[in-house]
Amino acid sequence: MTAYSIQMAESSDIKPIAELISLYLGTMDFIPAEKKASFAEIIALNEKSVERIIDTIAVAKTEDNCIIGVAGMEAHNSEDVYGIGLNSYQEIVGLVVDDKYRGNGIAKALLALLLQKADQDVLVEAWGDTGQDANAHKSLIANGFVRIKRIKDFYKNRGDCFLCVYRNKCNEELCTCDIYLKKFLS
Tell me the pLDDT band of 166, cut-offs 50, 70 and 90. Answer: low
The DSSP H or E segment spanning 123 is strand 122-128
Q: Between vectors from CA 186 to CA 178 and to CA 87, what angle results, nearest 5°?
A: 45
pLDDT at 33: 42
- List all residues 6 or more positions away from 91 whose beta carbon is below 8 Å from its beta carbon: 73, 74, 75, 76, 122, 123, 124, 125
pTM over 0.85: no
| Helix (H) or strand (E) segment spanning residue 35 | none
Question: Residue 39 and residue 76: Cα distance in Å, rounded?
Answer: 28
Q: Under DSSP, is residue 70 helix (H, G, I), strand (E, B) or coil?
A: strand
By the 10 Å C-beta count (0-12 exposed, 13-18 middle, 19+ buried), 107 is classed as: buried
SS3 of residue 69 by DSSP: strand
pLDDT, tens only, 79-123? 777 788 887 889 888 889 999 998 899 999 999 999 999 988 998
Q: How far apart are CA 89 and CA 102, in angstroms?
A: 28
Q: How far apart are CA 80 and CA 55, in angstroms?
A: 24
pLDDT classification of 68: cutoffs 50, 70, 90: very high
**Nearest Cα residue to 115 out of 73, 52, 149:** 73
CATH number, domain with residue 138: 3.40.630.30
Q: What is the pLDDT of residues 124-133, one digit of tens each?
A: 887 666 667 7
Which amino acid, one-letter code, is at 56? T
Domain interval for residue 108: 4-182
Number of domains in the chain: 1
Give yes or no for residue 157 having a pLDDT over 60. Answer: no
